[in-house]
Chain A
Amino acid sequence: MPQSAKRPGGRNSSNSPPRDFGRQGFQRQLGGQSPQSRALDLRGLGLDSYEMLHKTFLNVSPELAHGSFPSLIHRSRALCTCFTPAKLISKKPHHCLAHFASATTNYSRPFHLFQYGGKKGCFRLHLSSTMSLDIQCEQLSDTRWTELLPLIQQCQVVRLDDCGLTEVRCQDMSSALRANPALTELDLRTNELGDAGVRLVLQALQGPTCTIQKLSLQNCCLTEAGCGVLPSMLRSVPSLRELHLSDNPLGDAGLKLLCEGLLNPQCHLEKLQLEYCNLTAASCEFLASVLRAKPDFKELIVSNNDLSEAGVRTLCQGLKDSACPLEALKLENCGVTAANCRDLCSAVASKTSLQALDLGSNRLGDAGLTELCQGLLRPSFRLRTLWLWECGITAEGCHELCRMLCSLESLRELSLAGNELGDAGAQLLCESLLAPGCRLESLWVKTCSLTAACCPLFSSVLAQNKCLLELQMSSNPLGDVGVQTLCQGLGQPGTVLRVLWLGDCDVSDVGCSSLASTLLANHSLRELDLSNNRMGDEGVRQLMGSLRQPGCALEQLVLYDIYWSEEMDNQLRALEEDKPSLRIIS
């Protein structure tokens, strides 16, 4: 269709939306889908003006506003088709959507714009009850920035992740933020704001009408020098509950300033993230005092700081003394030692609120693990997520773990990735998973030196266990034989597994053939990862053959780093186009 120069917003009466994209068309699409993950296919909508999109969504949204439809996520590929600059009158997709968003402010269910970063004109539209601006990975031109400022002033949630923002932009943002009466969440991560930029942002949030609850300045080039503004900010914003400062070189001195602010009784922070902040043991005393002082503290993430054994001990002491209802504690790669496990046990002994514990990448060893398990096996514990990846655990340690698996009824997610469990360790785990009363939903045994020998037991687990929804077995040399064995279990009726990871498992065309048959017999599996395997076109072709069947329930197939031909590449794309419920990621 020839391009005609039209003014932005001009009427285009010769292009009424195709009937399929009216209310009935959308309802037909939504009819067969589960409420949790609905997708609207807008491909071929052939929009020539934002007004048409506006009308389309207005037609659709009354239903969505009333129905059980928490969010509508549209696949970026399809929206790309709609919004390629060539099809837009104004040639500014962002301009169009910005107008669209502001045009709908009066609407009872405002729209959430989420731009899918990088590719021009790619957007996701979320229909939700919060007015949100969410942009990732895009260098914002000056014109674009001007268009966004009104949204920054209106939206409840503003996320500008990796958007090339600098101190200069912070000036503009400052006035917009100050004037925003509804802001609850601000995320400016991965922008080189620097100390000056951060100061501007924090000052803007100190207004009397500011209601911000969640703030992320992760990776914003905030140094120790810039932390001086934190104390005044933290005592002036009593609504703030969550603060992310990860990936900023605060150092112990910067952290001290932060803690001064946190200690103020006007500060009601509940969640704090400080990964990769160049903290050492010296910081732990300040953090401990914060924990003692804050009665509402819920989440502390200090992963990837060299706290060392002494620091961790100090932190644990603070936790022990504290009455805070801690829910999540992450100390991955902090230099936690086996000896610290006793400290951890006494620290969390009274914390029945604890739900998530991440101790990955610390050399706990089997001895430390044993100590930990004993401490965590308390009847009142509600621990739900336990991450012990790369902790130096072997099959020996699995004995204790398995005892815990069966007794800790609350445990739902367990990661043992990167531990040399071997087939012996796997056997113990499988026996626990086969025992009645095991309620584990997610098990990660990636890179655990498992071979085909443990697959018969896993196969039984897949066939019989009715709780396990996710099994992450990537980077284990299972081979085609191992995968074929797993397929036997997976092909049984009544399986419940939804997510299976078999990346880097030495799978060839032969293994793919078994998987292809299994995908037709199995009805529970929704996501399958076969990245980094050595199958070629033949294996991929067999998989596609099964995926094409309408009866195949798989929703996501991940195929990173597989070498296939250009023809196969085209066929995969075509398959994705033909089956909107299926995503193929490569």
Chain B
Amino acid sequence: MALQRTHPLLLLLLLTLLGLGLIQPSYGQHAMYQRFLRQHVDLQVTSGDDRYCNVMMQRRRMTIRQCKPFNTFIHEDIGNILNICNTSNIPCKNGRMNCHEGVVQVTDCRETGGSSVPNCRYRAKSSTRRIVIACEGNPEVPVHMDK
């Protein structure tokens, strides 16, 4: 089999592409952070009622195949939520030590007793309360809502 000379420009292109691939930021928490944003952050409102919950739980894809039994929507700037990650560590429910607490405006949506997919129905409770979130990554981003 004849040896083929690699074109120098092609090699450069190859290396550049590889380099770009290697310099990607920590992809690590990307998916879980995205899920956190989807499930738990809503900046459009400052509080919600039952109808809000019914619509938002569907809009944010938590009513597919099975209704998510309980979910909290945080009505705060993402900056405020990221700041919570910088506070001191406290234990999570499963024992891990990378949870943090903060007080924020929320709407808690809880399934009614008669809720059943595809008719997922919720009761809303708006309040300003202490939440506990788990943060990971560098920089730290929220990946899980613990309480």
A interface vs B, CB < 8 Å?
76, 116-119, 136-137, 161-162, 190, 219, 247, 276, 303, 332, 358, 360-361, 387, 389-390, 415, 417-418, 444, 446-447, 474-475, 503-504, 508, 529, 531-532, 534-536, 556, 558, 560-561, 563, 566, 569-570, 573, 583, 585-586
Contacts and interface: CB of A to CB of B under 8 A. Distances in A.
Contacts of A573: 31
Contact of A361 (B64, B112, B145, B146): B112
30 contacts: A117-B58, A117-B59, A117-B61, A118-B59, A118-B60, A137-B58, A161-B58, A162-B59, A247-B54, A332-B114, A360-B113, A361-B114, A387-B113, A389-B112, A418-B113, A503-B69, A508-B94, A531-B68, A531-B69, A532-B69, A535-B94, A536-B95, A561-B144, A563-B93, A563-B94, A566-B28, A566-B32, A569-B32, A585-B64, A585-B65
B85 interface: no
A197 B136 CA distance: 47
Nearest to B145: A561
A508 B94 CA distance: 8
Interface in B10-46: 28-29, 31-32, 35
A566 B136 contact: yes
Contacts of B60: 118
A566 B143 CA distance: 9
B129 interface: no
Interface of B: 28-29, 31-32, 35, 50-51, 54-55, 58-62, 64-66, 68-70, 92-96, 112-114, 134, 136, 143-146
Contacts of B64: 76, 116, 585
Q: Binding site of A, secondary structure by majority: helix, strand, loop or mixed?
A: loop
Contacts of B31: 566, 569-570, 573
Contacts of A219: 51, 55
Nearest to A531: B69
Contacts of B59: 117-118, 137, 162
Contact of B146 (A387, A563, A585, A586): A563
A487 B1 CA distance: 63
Contact of A504 (B55, B61, B69, B143): B69
A534 B93 CA distance: 6
A137 B94 CA distance: 34
B58 A162 contact: yes
A332 B121 CA distance: 12
A527 B64 CA distance: 14
Contacts of B144: 561, 563
Given A118-B61, A137-B59, A361-B113, A561 B134 contact: no
Contacts of B65: 556, 558, 583, 585
Nearest to A413: B116
A570 B32 CA distance: 10
A573 B35 CA distance: 13
Nearest to A360: B114
B118 to A, nearest CB: 10
B91 to A, nearest CB: 11
A303 B119 CA distance: 13
A150 to B, nearest CB: 27
Nearest to B99: A563
Nearest to B137: A566
Contacts of A137: 58-59, 61
Nearest to A475: B69
A190 B66 contact: no
A278 B93 CA distance: 41
Nearest to A136: B58
A247 B114 contact: no
A532 B70 contact: yes
Contacts of A558: 65-66
B55 A190 contact: yes
Closest 8 CB pairs of A and B: A389-B113, A536-B94, A417-B113, A563-B144, A418-B113, A534-B93, A360-B114, A137-B59
Contact of B134 (A361, A447, A503, A563): A563
